[in-house]
Amino acid sequence: MNYGVRFWVGLGLLAAAGSCAGRNLPPEPDSYVAADEIGPERAAELAASPASTWLDDLNSAEMSTLAREALAGSPDLQIVEARYRAARWRARGAFGGNLLPSLSVGVDGIRTETPVSGSDERIRSEIMTSSVVASWEIDLWGRLTARTLASDLTADAAEEDLNGARLSVAGQTSRAWVDLIEAQQLFALAEEDLQTRERALDLTQRRYDAGITTSLALRTARSQVASARAFRAQAQDTVLISARRLQELMGRYPDGTLRAVGDLPSLQPIAAAGAPADLLERRPDVLASENRMRAAGFRIHEARAALLPRLTLTGTAGASGQGIEDISNSADLISNLIAGITMPIFNGGALIAESRASVNDRRAAASDYVRTSIAAWREVEGAISADQSLEIRETEFARAAEEARAAQELAEREYARGVATLFELIDAYTRRIDAERGLIAARAQRVTNRISYHVALGGGARTGGIDEDREVVQ
């Protein structure tokens, strides 16, 4: 085989390799993937993640279903996941770009036409050049390794950010479901309150027509009905707001038509949260902060090693001539192997400034880790103590509501017999409504606080404790 044939074969192989590399590029992704389009494998992966396994501990199938739909279709989560995958690919690229040699090949062709003085002729010359360049920086002081490890730890931190975002979305969706149930119950209570006050107005109207009561009582009864209608309209709007918020978290169109069909779960007494040190190994935000702190430590080493000499090996081979035969003949190739050491002498203090800046970045990252850890402990301790007070509130409001209902029934009978006044009946209505509202709010707040407790533990609470196994979704 002659040299020209070998050249064209090699050029064809080079083009084929480039086309294969282009085909291996990931396809252009959709801007958004709905929850019902992610596929069964992806749904099973999300369902088994720490962000969702704690949902079943609250014994509410509806809440678990809606939260898992949010994990699959939340636009916020897809943003964080895309950023994590971008960081992971950049970390992989940093490994190859920093520690492995680089190799490039090229073929250049130049055609020059020069006019001949005094004639119409032009002198044409063609020059073709082929080149192969290989370069490798020897990592003498570990600078490139430190940069690679820092990039990898940054990607690990982004992964923990993704886990934390999943946990947060599951918690937000669960709390939004609780808010929707609370809003629906308050709306039902507002409708019941309107009906009771309309009954009181009807009875007052009949008594006024009979000359038994005054116009003051009649106008007061009318005012109470109007206020009850206003509160019902407000409660109805709160239901729509809560429904839209829940639909937004799940990636649905927020038309406000979603309604919760279940009831708030019955809670068991909260158990111990485990040792405080266990929390540091479970919370995604703490783990992300730890990875960033470690990455900052490697960047200190990278910045300091940048002040030291660098050893680079460079190999080149190439040929030039007027035709393909000239540049494809291996006997005509000119090769060089260069080993060079460079030492920074003066660059305006940029390297020293970067070294000192990296030390302060590491100090800031360490302080952020301490702050995040303390905040994690505070959230767990706060959820435990709040559960105790909310349990007392729920018990007492339940007792108050029971007594207020009995008092209202008694006031209605006495008002119908003319023994009690309208203002005593209104007072009984108001006390019952306040007690019922307090009971609904206390129950919802206690369930919300229990959700916050699970989220504060990093999604690892099982009947109040911390799981030993932690599954990380890649």
The four Cα atoms 277, 281, 282, 288 give a dihedral, to 10 degrees, of: 120
Q: What is the pLDDT of residue 473?
A: 33
Q: What is the pLDDT of residue 22?
A: 46
Are the CB atoms for 160 and 126 separated by under 8 Å?
Answer: no
Reported as a pLDDT band with limits 50, 70 and 90, residue 472 is: very low
Q: What is the pLDDT of residue 403?
A: 95
In this structure, the strands spanning 465-466 and 461-462 are antiparallel
Count of CB atoms situated within 10 Å of the CB of 443? 24
Residue 420 domain-assigned? yes
* pLDDT (tens digit per residue) in 37-74: 566 666 666 666 666 677 877 888 899 889 888 888 88
Residue pointed to by tokens 């020293």: 352
Residue 217 domain-assigned? yes
Average pLDDT over residues 127-147: 84
Q: What is the pLDDT of residue 46?
A: 62
CA distance 227 to 233: 10
Q: What is the pLDDT of residue 44?
A: 64
The separation between CA 238 and the C-alpha centre of its own chain, rounded to angstroms, equals: 26
Q: What is the DSSP string of 236-269?
A: HHHHHHHHHHHHHHHT----S-----S-PPPPPP
Residue 69 domain-assigned? yes
Residue 336 domain-assigned? no
Reported as a pLDDT band with limits 50, 70 and 90, residue 324 is: low
Closest CA to 258 of 270, 244, 278, 268: 244
Residue 37 domain-assigned? no
Are the CB atoms for 286 and 300 separated by under 8 Å?
Answer: no
What three-state secondary structure class fits 351? helix
Average pLDDT over residues 114-141: 79
Domain count, the chain: 1
Q: Which tokens hold the place of 367? A: 């302080």
Q: What angle do CA 339, 340, 341 make, to 5 degrees?
A: 135
Q: What is the DSSP string of 121-139?
A: -EEEEEEEEEEEEEEEEE-
In this structure, the strands spanning 310-321 and 334-342 are antiparallel
Which residues, in sequence order, are CB contacts of 196 under 8 Å at separation 6+? Answer: 408, 429
Amino acid symbol at 127: I
What three-state secondary structure class fits 274? coil
Q: What is the pLDDT of residue 207?
A: 87
Reported as a pLDDT band with limits 50, 70 and 90, residue 105 is: confident
Amino acid symbol at 449: N
Are the CB atoms for 310 and 137 separated by under 8 Å?
Answer: yes
* pLDDT (tens digit per residue) in 238-267: 999 999 999 999 888 999 999 999 889 888
Residue 113 domain-assigned? no
Q: What is the pLDDT of residue 463?
A: 35
Q: What is the pLDDT of residue 435?
A: 94
Q: What is the pLDDT of residue 258?
A: 94
* pLDDT (tens digit per residue) in 150-199: 999 999 999 999 989 989 999 999 999 999 999 999 999 999 999 999 99
Whether pLDDT at 456 is above 80: yes
Whether pLDDT at 272 is above 60: yes
Q: Which tokens hold the place of 8? A: 């064209």
CA distance 412 to 425: 6
Residue pointed to by tokens 């190859």: 96
Residue 130 domain-assigned? no
Residue pointed to by tokens 């282009």: 22
Parent domain of 437: 46-102+140-307+349-466
Q: What angle do CA 20, 315, 105 make, to 5 degrees?
A: 25
Number of alpha carbons in the 13 Å side-chain half-sphere of residue 84: 20
Instruction: Look at 448 and 28; give whichever has higher pLDDT.
Output: 448
Residue 39 backbone class (left: φ over 0; alpha: ψ -120 to 50; beta: rest): left
Q: What are phi and psi of 335, to 5 degrees?
A: -115, 150
Could you tell me the sign of the dihedral formed by the alpha carbons of 76, 369, 281, 449, in that order?
negative
Residue 404 domain-assigned? yes
Q: What is the pLDDT of residue 471?
A: 39
Q: What angle do CA 410, 415, 421 make, to 5 degrees?
A: 110
CATH of the domain at 297: 1.20.1600.10
Closest CA to 267 of 15, 96, 447, 18: 447
Q: Which tokens hold the place of 34? A: 């709905």
Kind and range of the H or E element at 374? helix 350-416
Q: What is the pLDDT of residue 193?
A: 92
CA distance 428 to 434: 10
Q: What is the pTM of this model?
A: 0.79
CA distance 77 to 389: 34
Instruction: Look at 107 and 302; give whichever has higher pLDDT.
Output: 302
In this structure, the strands spanning 461-462 and 334-342 are unpaired
Are the CB atoms for 185 and 115 separated by under 8 Å?
Answer: no
